[in-house]
Amino acid sequence: SDQKAKEIDSSLGENVKGYKSNVSKKEDCYNFVKLVLAMFGRIDILVNNAGITDDNLLIRMSQEHWSNVITSNLDSVFNMTKLVVMHMLKQRQGSVKNLTSFVRIKRNAGQSNYASSKAGVIRFTMSVSLDLVTKNIRSKCIAPVFIKTAMIDKLNKEHMYNWIKTIPLKRAGLGEDIANVAMFL
């Protein structure tokens, strides 16, 4: 795996690092958590935001397309949460934020794998929050409607416009909008 740390921004006096890791693989998650703990000594907040789409109608969707999305979007949340929570339990505090999607409510053709994975993240988070609430570890979901990412750049422009016109602000959200929500929670 390619898990190299690089400095992102120190302009605010913060010690911030970026990592590249495949969190759908349990071994990569283990190595990633080990690296973060070696560098910082503790983990206070986990934000699970990995996600992919591989849309197709059910009758055309292969097992591989189904599994790739479920592995990336749902297994990664399990892998990272389980490993990080073990350390949060020792610290007697922590916060887990899992990104899901409004798609789990709003129906889109060809997204049975994506919608299932994101609905699974919600139910996982609800269950984990009950498991951990007495241990001073919070677990919450963030379910944005439409965020400007490389994933939505692939959408048909008319489809994108139709989504945006349903949003009260009449614009797609930004990554920093979600980061601010995660930090607030």
Q: What is the pLDDT of residues 29-45, one digit of tens each?
A: 999 999 999 988 999 99
Q: Give the pLDDT confidence score for residue 174 in this predicted structure.
A: 80
Catalytic residues: 114
Q: Give the pLDDT confidence score for residue 13 in this predicted structure.
A: 54
Q: Give the pLDDT confidence score for residue 129 in this predicted structure.
A: 95
CA 20 to chain centre: 14
Q: Give the pLDDT confidence score for residue 122 in this predicted structure.
A: 93
Distance CA 164, CA 170 (A): 5
pLDDT in tens, 110-138: 788 888 999 999 999 999 999 999 999 99
Asked if 17 and 26 count as a contact pair (C-beta separation under 8 A), the reply is no
Q: Which residues of the chain fall short of a pLDDT of 50?
A: 1-9
Dihedral sign of CA atoms 59, 62, 68, 70 in order: positive
* Global pTM exceeds 0.85: no
- Residue closest to 53 by CA, chosen among 66, 36, 35: 66
Is 96 exposed, middle or buried (CB count within 10 Å of its CB: 0-12, 13-18, 19+)? buried
Q: Give the pLDDT confidence score for residue 45 in this predicted structure.
A: 92
Q: Give the pLDDT confidence score for residue 106 in this predicted structure.
A: 60
Q: Give the pLDDT confidence score for residue 1 in this predicted structure.
A: 38
